[in-house]
């Protein structure tokens, strides 16, 4: 079970570092999601899905990638062509999958993920793109497991 969770966390990290593909033909009606402590995610005002081009052609703006069915797969902000700030990923039915932060394209700060059922699957800190300090991993049944990556 621990291997599945680690693979899921790694998949999130890899999925949020790819090159963004612009989609200016679709409009986003999905709302942005914000974490609210231990209660999960709540809905807030939507953000613009259309990135802004600057003179040197480096992409800056909101980033939204969608599944073929139109549901938002991941969303965040691009600055200078790199993931920056808060990012979210979602399952194909729109349920939250993961949430984390980036600085200049590198994972930093709190990272968390959820099973499709809504049960939290992991939570911990990143520094320079690597997990550090104590991380918590939960089974789908809610059993807690902890691992310390050191480095804090």
In this structure, the number of other CB atoms found within 10 A of the CB of residue 110 comes to: 13
SS3 content of the chain, % helix, strand, coil (to 5): 10, 45, 40
Give the pLDDT confidence score for residue 112 in this predicted structure.
96
129 or 2, greater pLDDT: 129
Which of 11-15, 59-63, 68-72 has the lowest average pLDDT? Answer: 11-15
Q: What is the mean pLDDT of residues 79-90?
A: 94
Give the percent of the chain with pLDDT over 70. Answer: 62
**Alpha-carbon span 33 to 39, nearest angstrom:** 13
| Spatial contact of 114 and 99, defined as CB atoms under 8 Å apart | no
38: Cβ contacts below 8 Å, ≥ 6 apart: none
Residue ranges per domain, the chain?
Answer: 2-148
- Range with the largest mean pLDDT of 1-10, 28-37, 115-124: 115-124
For residue 133, pLDDT over 70 is answered with yes
For residue 66, pLDDT over 60 is answered with yes
CATH of 2-148, one of 3.30.60, 3.40.630, 1.10.10, 3.90.930: 3.90.930
Confidence of residue 36 (pLDDT cuts 50, 70, 90): very low
| Spatial contact of 49 and 64, defined as CB atoms under 8 Å apart | yes
Name the pTM for this structure: 0.63
Q: Which of 15, 44, 19, 14 is nearest to 30 (CA)?
A: 44
| Mean model confidence pLDDT for the chain | 74
């Amino acid at each position: 079970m621990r291997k599945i969770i680690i693979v899921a966390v790694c998949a999130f990290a890899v999925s949020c570092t790819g090159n963004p593909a612009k989609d200016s033909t679709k409009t986003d009606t999905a709302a942005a999601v914000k974490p609210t402590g231990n209660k999960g995610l709540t809905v807030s005002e939507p953000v613009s899905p259309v990135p802004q081009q600057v003179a040197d052609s480096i992409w800056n703006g909101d980033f939204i990638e969608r599944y073929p069915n139109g549901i938002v797969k991941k969303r965040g902000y691009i600055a200078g062509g790199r993931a920056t700030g808060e990012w979210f990923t979602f399952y194909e039915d729109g349920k939250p999958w993961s949430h984390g932060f980036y600085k200049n394209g590198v994972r930093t700060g709190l990272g968390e993920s959820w099973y499709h059922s809504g049960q939290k699957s992991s939570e911990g800190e990143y520094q320079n793109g690597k997990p550090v300090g104590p991380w918590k991993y939960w089974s789908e049944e809610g059993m807690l497991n902890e691992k310390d990556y050191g480095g804090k």
